Every structure is written in C-alpha cells, then in structure tokens.
C-alpha cells in the first residue's frame, strides 16, 4: 500500500511529535504522524507532568534560558489548546519543598537558593524544619529543612498529548497507526518512509521516536546517541489529608493530584527496552515516599506504571537537522524533562523546518553535532 505524499511525516506520536504537528499545521504544512501503537501510549502519556524550569539536568547551565522559555510557553499554550480543542490540560501552579535530611544536603540546597533566587518570576528560599512543616504538615519531622520553591507549574500529560493531537488534526494533520521500518532516500534527500506494509512519500521527515530513535541511526547512517531510561511511578490512595505542596527528595517526589490520587516516583533504570513493572522499583519508591511523608504508611497502592524515556548521551535534548541530510530532522532525548521541554523542542523544530534557524532561547545547545568527535 502506498499513501499520498505529505509535506512532513513525523515518526512518533509522543508529545513532541504531536505538538510539532500542531505547530506545523498551523503554519500550513500538511503533516502525517506515524505511530506504531497509539499517541501518548509511552512516556508522554505516563509522566508525572511537573513543569519545574529551575531543577534537573542541564541547570543552571547550559539550559536555564531554554527551560524558562519552555515554561513560559506552557502557560500560554495551555490556554491556546483549550480554546482550540476544549480540552483542559490541567495546568496549575504548584509550590514545592525539596527536603534535606543531612548537613550536606542542606548546604547544597542553600547554594541552589543563591542562584535560583535571582531568576525572575520565581520565589525561592531556604526554610527550616518548623517552617517546612507549617507549609506542609505531613513532611517528615526528621528533615533539617527544605528549599521552598514557589510558582513552578504542573499539568496532566495525557490530556496535554490528547489536546495537542486534536489541535493538530484540526489543522489538517493525519494520524496513521503504522510502524515505520526505514527511510526512502535519493542522495542526501529523504523522500519518504517505508512501513511494515507499504510506504508514504514526504517532503520532510522527522524522527521523534523517543528512545527508539536510536534504531533510526541505521536508517540514516548517523549516530543519534539516545537510549531508554526506564521510570516507574506509583499511584496511591490515602485516608490522610491531601498534600498541600509537592514534596521532593533527591530524585524522588510525591504529590496529590487534583483527583485526590497520590503520585510517588520515580526510578531511573537503564534496562534496555524492558517496560515491565518490578517489585524492586515499588519498594524503592515506597522507601523514599515514606521518608518524605512517614504518616502515610497506610496508603493503598492503586496502580504501578512504567515507561521508557529517551535519554541522550549528555542528558540534554536533541533537536536538529540530521548531519549530512537536506530534509531529515530529529527531536528526542529529553529524559525526565520531556513534558517541560516539549514546547521548546516543538518550536525549534518548526523554526528549523520553516525558516532554517530558530530564535528560541538556548536552541543552539540542542544541536546533534555536539556529539561529533573533535580533533
């Protein structure tokens, strides 16, 4: 079977692919999304949905400006998608406590306060144990204190993917549930995509396949250094009062969602493409969960989920034209910050395809050629 020609074919129905399809369609491009399973069925749809531009890999340098740009676009995009589709993505401001349990953790937090406090639009301060427990009465009495971060956001990732997909479709995008198996080429041009049972012609092809993007390295002859980073999350129900704030400790978090369900996570596992849940992950998450909020020992486990995030070799996202190709692009590698960074990644991709360069703050740090060996 051969489908009709499209301006842009995006391989991958995660949030970056769907959001890029919306933005490209709004600019007049005819877009098709190829997804082997269903949109949002992997990391994008199972993520927690935190939107914190001040913490995580690549911060404060080199991606602070990029992260702030992404966060600002989320605030406007939530309204925009609601107007276009009627879907509320659940964007909200949610304060956070980052707990410290020993002197070294407290010292690190206080150093972070020093630079975070200079970032406009956010209020960050160190609070002692008493102040932390006044802000969130359920945090552990054993913590020394916490970095208190006001005004970072959160949203509901699956709603976000659904809204982006519906908005893309209203701008003419097509969703095709087929598995891509390779590229059609003519010299340095990519002319389309081969499928399990056919082909689709394209003027531009985008590799937005999450951790599976590494497989496309064989298709295009260029190493795209991305691998799966497995993350597991617990959803729990408790008779205790909902948490007032989101609570973090090192790489773990716990928060009460608007529906009253507690989300606790997460793991960082390099186990290849194994998406199964494990008892070891459950126990590890519960250990940190109860360290942060020990009064919730009676919490009932409702669901345990696992997904594979795309992690680049340096932990930072990759959005660029693929080296040596005229019209083949890649967008992947955001690791644990894929929901936050999705807005910037999609806009950089739009700019590169439409204009040849991007003015998104920090876009220069997303280039694929940063992984090329230097003499």
Q: Cα–Cα distance between 281 and 261 in angstroms, integer? A: 19
Candidates 28, 18, 29, 175; CA nearest to 81 is 18
Q: Cα–Cα distance between 9 and 205 in angstroms, integer? A: 5
Q: Cα–Cα distance between 353 and 351 in angstroms, integer? A: 6
pLDDT tens for the chain, 375 residues long, are 345 567 999 999 999 999 999 999 999 999 999 998 888 778 888 899 999 999 988 888 899 999 999 999 999 999 999 999 999 999 999 899 999 999 999 999 999 999 998 898 899 999 999 999 999 999 999 999 999 999 889 999 999 999 999 999 999 999 999 999 999 999 999 999 999 989 999 999 999 999 999 999 999 999 999 999 999 999 999 998 999 999 999 999 999 999 999 999 999 999 999 999 999 999 999 999 999 999 999 999 999 999 999 999 999 999 999 999 999 999 999 999 999 999 999 999 999 999 999 999 999 999 999 998 765
The pLDDT, as a whole number, for residue 57 is 85
Q: Cα–Cα distance between 334 and 211 in angstroms, integer? A: 10
The pLDDT, as a whole number, for residue 164 is 97
The pLDDT, as a whole number, for residue 2 is 47
Contact 325, 205 (CB under 8 A): no
The pLDDT, as a whole number, for residue 1 is 38
> Taken in order 159, 165, 169, 172, is the CA torsion positive or negative?
positive
- Can you list the domains of the chain with their CATH numbers? 2-85+157-225+314-371 (3.50.50.60), 94-152+228-312 (3.30.9.10)
Q: Sheet containing 252-256: which strands, arranged edge to edge?
A: 123-128, 145-150, 96-100, 246-249, 252-256, 262-265, 226-237, 300-312
């Amino acid at each position: 079977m051969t489908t009709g020609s499209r301006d842009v074919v995006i391989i991958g129905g995660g949030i970056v692919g769907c959001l890029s399809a919306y933005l490209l369609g709004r600019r007049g491009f005819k877009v098709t999304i190829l997804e082997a399973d269903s949109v949002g069925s992997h990391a994008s749809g199972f993520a927690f949905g935190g939107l914190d531009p001040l913490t995580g890999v690549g911060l404060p340098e080199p991606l602070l400006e990029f992260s702030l740009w992404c966060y600002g676009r989320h605030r406007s995009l939530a309204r925009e998608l609601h107007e276009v589709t009627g879907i509320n993505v659940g964007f909200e401001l949610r304060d956070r406590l980052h707990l410290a349990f020993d002197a070294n953790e407290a010292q690190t937090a206080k150093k972070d306060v020093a630079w975070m406090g200079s970032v406009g639009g956010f209020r960050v301060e160190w609070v002692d144990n008493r102040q932390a427990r006044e802000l969130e009465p359920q945090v552990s009495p054993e913590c020394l204190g916490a970095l208190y971060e006001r005004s970072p956001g959160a949203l509901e990732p699956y709603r976000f993917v659904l809204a982006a997909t519906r908005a893309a479709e209203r701008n003419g995008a097509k969703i095709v549930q087929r598995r891509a198996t390779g590229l059609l080429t003519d010299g340095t041009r990519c002319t389309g995509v081969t499928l399990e049972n056919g082909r689709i012609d394209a003027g531009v092809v985008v590799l937005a396949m999450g951790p599976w993007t590494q497989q496309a390295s064989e298709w295009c002859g260029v190493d795209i250094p991305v691998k799966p980073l497995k993350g597991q999350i617990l959803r729990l129900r408790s008779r205790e009062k909902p948490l007032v704030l989101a609570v973090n400790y090192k790489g773990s978090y716990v928060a009460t969602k608007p529906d009253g369900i507690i989300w606790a996570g997460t793991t960082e596992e390099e186990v290849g493409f194994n998406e199964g849940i494990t008892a070891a992950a459950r126990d590890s998450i519960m250990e940190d969960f109860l360290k942060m909020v020990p009064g919730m020992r009676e919490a009932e486990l409702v669901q345990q989920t696992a997904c594979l995030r795309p992690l680049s070799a340096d932990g930072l996202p990759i959005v660029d034209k693929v080296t040596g190709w005229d019209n083949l692009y890649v967008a992947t590698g955001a690791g644990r910050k894929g929901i936050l960074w999705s807005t910037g990644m999609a806009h950089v991709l739009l700019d590169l395809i439409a204009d040849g360069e991007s003015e998104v703050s920090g876009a220069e740090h997303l280039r694929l050629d940063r992984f090329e060996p230097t003499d």
